[in-house]
Amino acid sequence: MPHLTWWANVVTDAGHHGGGPRSDLARASLRQSDARLGAFLDHLDALGVTDRVTFVVTADHGFEGSDPQVRGSWTPALDALGISYRDEGPGLVYFL
Ligand SMILES: [Zn+2]
């Protein structure tokens, strides 16, 4: 089993770019992405390794505008993790 790997699921990005936010295509892409994640988790369960896997879920971007009233810093939450990190700016954090 690898120590580190990643799984990139671009179906939601393609669906939203292709059909636009809240479109039938976008919603279908979410259902498909959910099904693919379910198959992946079922596979890990079948291998008996799910409890040994740490999942980090990220997104490349969203399609809704951000709420300008929501401001803040990741620093307190990152500091509370008790692990080394480097915050490179909006949305880009390296865990060391
Ligand atoms: Zn995109």
Name the residue ranges covered by the structural domains of the chain. 11-61
Q: Which residues fall inside 5 Å of ion ligand 1, going by CB?
A: 13
What is the CA(61)–ligand 1 centre distance, in A?
A: 6
- 41-64 pLDDT, tens digit per residue, is 999 999 999 999 988 887 777 777
Percent pLDDT > 90 in the chain is 43
Backbone angles phi, psi at 29, to 5 degrees: -65, -35
Burial degree of 16 (CB within 10 A; 0-12, 13-18, 19+): buried
pLDDT of 36 higher than 90: yes
pLDDT of 90 higher than 80: no
What is the CA(63)–ligand 1 centre distance, in A?
A: 9
- 70-89 pLDDT, tens digit per residue, is 777 888 989 999 999 998 87
Burial 18-49 (b: 16+ CB within 10 A, else e): eeeeeeeebeebeeebeeeeeeeeeebeeeee
pLDDT of 2 higher than 90: no
- Averaged pLDDT of the chain: 87
Beta strands in 1-96 (DSSP E): 85-89, 92-95
Q: Are 45 and 56 in contact (CB under 8 A)?
A: no
What is the CA(21)–ligand 1 centre distance, in A?
A: 11
